Amino acid sequence: MIPILYEAHGDQIEIDLVTCFAGVPAGLRGKVYRVSDYAGPEGRKRLYAELARREYTILGIICSGDAVMTKWKWMLAARLPAKTFALNENGDYFWIDWGHWRVMIHFALFRCGLTGAAAVPTILRLVFFPVTLMYLLLYAGVVHLRRKIRTL
């Protein structure tokens, strides 16, 4: 993605990266912020302050199917005064603003498995979850009660 951004917008753009990984992506010429260097509440405040001083105008969040740095990503989006876009693993992106609320809802439903053929089994699991939980609790209660009665 980085070479594509440089090719599309020229070498004058500056791309910085907040990551949890040790390496540096090939072709990145910006600053790398590692979340491991900003542990604890004071470290997070320091990171937010450093990033705010840089006065970014655009913030990109990679929203892949993995839950890597989820809290960090959304806190950065909330704390930094930059226009934010979400980028998925296919390279598609959308701006996170009210004008794209339908795309955001579809994206969230897709990530939750509530679109297409996967929607029916997911909805059935959600509907039957309370029934399953109640059955398991009753079963555990009966088993423990039977053991208690036998020990008397």
Q: Is 62's pLDDT higher than 90? A: no
Q: Where are the domains of the chain?
A: 2-111, 117-152
Name the pTM for this structure.
0.64
pLDDT in tens, 35-46: 889 989 999 899
**What pLDDT does residue 88 have?**
79
pLDDT of residue 142: 96
Instruction: Specify the pairing of strand 17-19 against strand 58-62.
Output: unpaired
> Does the pLDDT value for residue 71 go beyond 90?
no
Residue 60: other Cβ atoms inside 10 A: 19
d(CA 63, CA 95): 12
Return d(Cα 95, Cα 102) in angstroms, integer.
Answer: 11
Amino acid 110 reads F
**Residue 116 falls in which region: left (phi positive, over 0), alpha (psi -120 to 50) or beta:** left
The predicted-structure confidence for 101-152, as pLDDT tens digits, reads as follows: 898 888 888 877 788 887 888 888 889 999 999 999 999 999 999 999 999 8
